[in-house]
Structure 1
């Protein structure tokens, strides 16, 4: 993909009145509907196109409600954009699709919601990206900044489109945005503070290569100036290398190294060192969210808090009271000595490895879904070492089973139990029967969810419901 295919030209809201605007992609409506709401408020004449039919887009259509929008669904008509003044493309739709290419050929400006927001937002933006940890870190940063005296808006990939909230945003606000690789891919602006939690292989089915994926992520710091801050994970070599060529001030965080400048662990305490001295925030043991990866997330949030001038005690209070985000290492139940954990957000092999290593107990895993073009080999080796069993679901079940059987066996006298399930209730039932007291039943699928579920949240909700229903029956015997 050429970097200039989507140009995100400078557009003022006042320039949209009476203009014909086409939004390419309705989807579930998280981005497209918020964008349509903003455009309608600006007086634009809006058409939404999607090659899928109405039956597949019921959620997005419902979210549109009474908005004055014309729909062109179920066909891919490249000439539908011919009479448009502007074309917007939603995240996840490749700039190389024929409709977008046709708009470019016709000289029609092609924009993105997040690109337009960056140009129009009057407030400083804190942007967070990474393969994993984005949502937790975004939420944490929102909590930390809320300890100050400025209003805070948390949005982006974490929820609905942020652009329709522009009318309420003032220069006094902090705007905290979770940014995906899809949103960053064509962005030609960077936030005042940019956080990168980590970068490992993901979405290769979309980006085509690891290099293209890393390049997309790097956009979050690529356009920074000397007045901006790059809050980067110093323990991730890929993230460190991404800073080369960026003008943003490096303000790193690390769980493994003591730093002269940045956020780090010192004797089990979260510490931030800046030009004004040492900020001792709190003991890592005071965090309610488990795992070394969450210590890193808390360090990143602490760094942002110190840069923003939040008092140390305010940062500590935000971290100390944070109990996590649904579908991310979410403890659902603890029955008969078996812990049930919902990590539906674990959609890559590396995320599943992190989840397994969070718990010092044997795991029974629920794995599978739609693969992202990433190899399962390393994950399979960790599963063989650390797990008692694996229940496989979804399209990638065959590929995961091959990887598990090819990996070195944990013990010949107690081989890894591998079973299949065709639904989440069946997967939970099989995992429950495999598990023994002291184990963790862990939903961390290492895959996307769209073969069997509406989305990642639906998968996690079905897991939670099945666990609570089945463990209640067991407890009631």
Structure 2
């Protein structure tokens, strides 16, 4: 099997022949500007230059990027349309970093007052009027992750997917930590990865979780690209499913012949994004048996294959993370481990030891025969379907929050079939209730209750659950109507459950 461990670090992949392919995520027809943010810049290009960062938010990316740019000698301004009182967390993360803040409704005009470079923070729409005006004025527009790809000397592993990218990224990081090379994990998790540049060398490995927001304007691809699956998410941001898929495609779009794509063979959309890309495919599957990659055999073993030999790694029942989707995630991580020459027994040991990631099918407690599980990170219907299917016991499911444009029909059918009760919260509660009704909830005897708060939802779930049940917080929605993030929502759920139970000791 081709192994990066044998060859040493690869050269960073670049757009082939400087080619730019125009598609919905990259070209804005009304203004004629290309939405691929990539400029030939180095650290020295920021010295003494005026740089505007559009978007502060919670400050994780903006603060790290600002510190990096200041260290390069830039004069940094951060703008955000929200008022100061709504940006306390982001402002706090800036600390004493010497930046100018322009906040409130007038910040859009200030963003383009006199910058020589503009950076866009994750979640700011690249088609926004501010960004389009900057591009029309030929002001270089960049992103933190795009600049990192340009400047990073290390080998990059990128992971994306509608579901499973955080678990897979974390698991890959743990497996690769057994290599005789420094491993850094970041991207859409942890602090801004740009802050790690100063200590990186060509011998390091960087494992990045990459969201569709980060990918949609990226003009470079990682050396090893992992795609867990592609469903439907963030349609409120991308507009259409096609634009969402086009954003995801950038993780492989710029790969060369010496790069590797680790792809889910069971997902046709994932396979389709690799069309026309020359990189080598290592497929993983729960139903097929690829010549190069990994699969689940009839005996429930995870098998790695290089075209000539098949190597058993672990029995699926030994995994501590529940659900068939996590078997697929484990296969993807194992393939990456083999690419970097991690021995099979070491890969197996890391898979057995992995307890999962907080707020992703995280077991919180078991009390009076009821298992309480925190899956707050599931913010799409497809993710929640996989969560419900991960358990072979009746479920009381807490659903709701802010819908992101996805359809709840299939989720409703699964919940009606598999669950004992559904407790609904948030602004999407009525829409989900309607979907459950249309799916036959009354005829199936599914109890549906609306709760005003998460506290009320936990109280109702405690009343509805019976011994042998699982109470599953898997909202299928974003959290911003009630909480600042899915993490805060999950942490609140855990605190509520632990107020009347003892945590499970693994």
Shorter-chain TM range is over 0.9
1:22-421 equivalence runs, <5 A? 22-75=52-105, 76-266=107-297, 267-274=299-306, 277-409=309-441, 411=443, 415-421=445-451
Q: Is the 8 A contact 2:224 2:259 kept in 1?
A: yes
1: CA distance between counterparts of 2:126 and 2:284?
34
Find the residue that maps to 1:251 and give its secondary structure.
Answer: strand
Q: Report the TM-score, using the length of structure 2 for normalisation.
A: 0.91
Does structure 1 retain, via aligned residues, the 8 Å contact 2:159–2:227?
Answer: yes
State the match for 2:479 in structure 1. Answer: 449
Structure 1 distance, partners of 2:282, 2:161, is 16
Alignment gaps of 5+ in structure 1: 473-477
Correspondent of 1:9 among 14, 26, 39: 39
Is the 8 Å Cα contact of residues 26 and 216 (structure 2) preserved in structure 1?
A: no
CA–CA distance in structure 2, aligned partners of residues 270 and 96 of structure 1 = 43
1:151-192 Cα offsets, whole Å, 9 max, x none, are 000000012210111011101100000000000000000000
Match of 2:7 in 1: none
User: Offset of 1:263 from its aligned partner?
Assistant: 0.8
Q: Assess if the C-alpha contact under 8 Å between 2:36 and 2:219 holds in 1.
A: no
**Of 402-411 and 293-302, the range deviating more from structure 2:** 402-411
Q: TM-score, structure 1 length as denominator? A: 0.96
- Distance in structure 2 (CA, Å) of the matches to 1:310 and 1:37: 35
Aligned length: 470
Kept after mapping to 1: 8 A contact 2:221/2:250: yes
Tell me by how many angstroms 1:255 deviates: 1.3
Find the aligned partners of 1:305 and 1:277 in 2 and give their Cα distance.
16
When residues 220 and 248 of structure 1 are mapped into structure 2, their CA distance, relative to the original with a 3 A threshold, is: same
Q: Give SS of 2:500's match.
A: helix
Whole-angstrom distance in 1 between the partners of 2:190 and 2:467: 38
Residue by residue, what CA displacement relative to the aligned partner does 1:189-246 show, whole Å, maximum 9, x if unpaired?
Answer: 0000000000111111111111110000010000000000000000111111111011
**Structure 2 CA distance for aligned equivalents of residues 345 and 5 of structure 1:** 29
Cα distance in 1, alignment partners of residues 321 and 344 from structure 2? 19
Contact 1:26–1:60 (Cα < 8 Å) also in 2: yes
Q: Tell me, yes or no, if the aligned pair for 1:254 and 1:265 is still in contact at 8 Å.
A: yes
Per-residue Cα deviation, 1:92-133 (whole angstroms, up to 9, x for no partner) = 111121221221122110001100100000001000000010
* Structure 1 residue 279, shift from structure 2 partner: 2.6
SS at structure 1 position matched to 2:350: helix
The whole-number CA distance in structure 2 between the counterparts of 1:116 and 1:275 is 37
CA distance in 1, matches of 2:36, 2:286: 38
What is the Cα-based RMSD across aligned positions, in Å? Answer: 1.2
Give unmatched runs, 5+ long, in structure 2: 1-24, 28-33
CA shift for structure 1 position 276 = 6.5
Question: Is the Cα contact below 8 Å between 2:302 and 2:312 reproduced in 1?
Answer: yes
Contact 2:54–2:111 (8 Å) recurs in 1 = no
Structure 1 partner of 2:22 = none
2:492 paired residue among 452, 462, 475: 462
Q: Deviations over 1:359-384 (max 9, x none)?
A: 10111011000001011011101111
Deviations 1:390-417 (A, max 9, x none): 11100000100000111124755xx111
